[in-house]
Amino acid sequence: DLDHSLEPARAIVGNVGDLMVDAIGELTPGTTVAAGIDYVVRTHPVTPLTYLYIVDEEKHLLGVVAMRDLLLARPGQILQDIMVPAPFVFAPDTILPEALKSALAKRHRVYPVVDSSNKLLGMVYSWRLFEYVATELSGQLGATVGLDREERSSTPIWRAFLMRHPWLQVNLLTAFVAAFVVGLFEDTIAQIVVLAVFLPVLAGQSGNTGCQALAITLRSLAVGELEEHSMTQLLRKEVVLGALNGFFVGLVAAAAMYFYSTMTGAADALTLALVVLIAMVGACIGSGLFGVLVPLTLRRFGADPAMASSIFLTTFTDILGMGLMLFLATSLLL
Residues 106-145 that bind a second copy (CB under 8 A): 107, 109, 125-127, 130-131, 133-134, 137-142, 144-145
Residues 273-332 that bind a second copy (CB under 8 A): 306, 310-311, 314, 318, 322
Smallest distance, a second copy to C-beta of residue 114, A: 23
Residue choice 2, 84, 86, 165 for contact with a second copy (CB under 8 A) = 165
Q: Which of residues 27-66 bind a second copy (CB under 8 A)?
A: 37, 40-41, 48-49
* Binding letters toward a second copy, positions 243-282, x by CB under 8 A: -xx--xx--xx--x---x---x------------------
Q: How far apart are CA 122 and CA 298, in angstroms?
A: 32
Question: Which of 7, 26, 56, 225 lies at the binding interface for a second copy (CB under 8 A)?
Answer: 225
Report the residue number, 45 or 107, with the smaller CB distance to a second copy: 107
Residue from the set 28, 32, 80, 230 that interacts with a second copy by CB under 8 A: 230
88 lies in the site for a second copy, by CB under 8 A: no
219 lies in the site for a second copy, by CB under 8 A:
yes
Cβ nearer to a second copy, comparing 21 with 116: 21
Q: Which is nearer to a second copy, 174 or 330 (CB)?
A: 174
Query: Between 34 and 91, whose beta carbon lies closer to a second copy?
Result: 34
Cβ neighbours of residue 178 closer than 8 Å, sequence gap 6 or more: 203, 315, 318, 319, 322
Nearer CB in complex with a second copy: 6/49? 49
Bridge partners, 54 (sequence order): 27, 63
User: Using CB under 8 A, which residues numbered 180 to 209 contact a second copy?
Assistant: 182-183, 186, 189-190, 193-194, 196-201, 203-205, 207-209
Tell which one of 2, 84, 86, 240 touches a second copy (CB under 8 A): 240
By CB under 8 A, the residues from 64 to 83 that bind a second copy are 67-68, 70-72
Nearer to a second copy, 274 or 313 (CB): 313
* Full 3-state SS string of the chain: CHHHHHCCCCCCCCEHHHHCECCCCEECCCCEHHHHHHHHHHCCCCCCCCEEEEECCCCEEEEEEEHHHHHHCCCCCEHHHHCEECCCCECCCCEHHHHHHHHHHHCCCEEEEECCCCEEEEEEEHHHHHHHHHHHHHHHHHHHCCCCCCCCCCCCHHHHHHHHHHHHHHHHHHHHHHHHHHHHCHHHHHHCCHHHHHHHHHHHHHHHHHHHHHHHHHHHHHCCCCCHHHHHHHHHHHHHHHHHHHHHHHHHHHHHHHHHHHHCCCCCHHHHHHHHHHHHHHHHHHHHHHHHHHHHHHHHCCCCCCCCHHHHHHHHHHHHHHHHHHHHHHHHHC
Residue 153, beta-bridge partner list: none
Q: How many residues of this chain interact with a second copy, rule: CB under 8 A?
A: 103
Nearer to a second copy among residue 59 and residue 278 (C-beta): 278
Q: How far is the CB of 119 from a second copy (least distance, A)?
A: 27
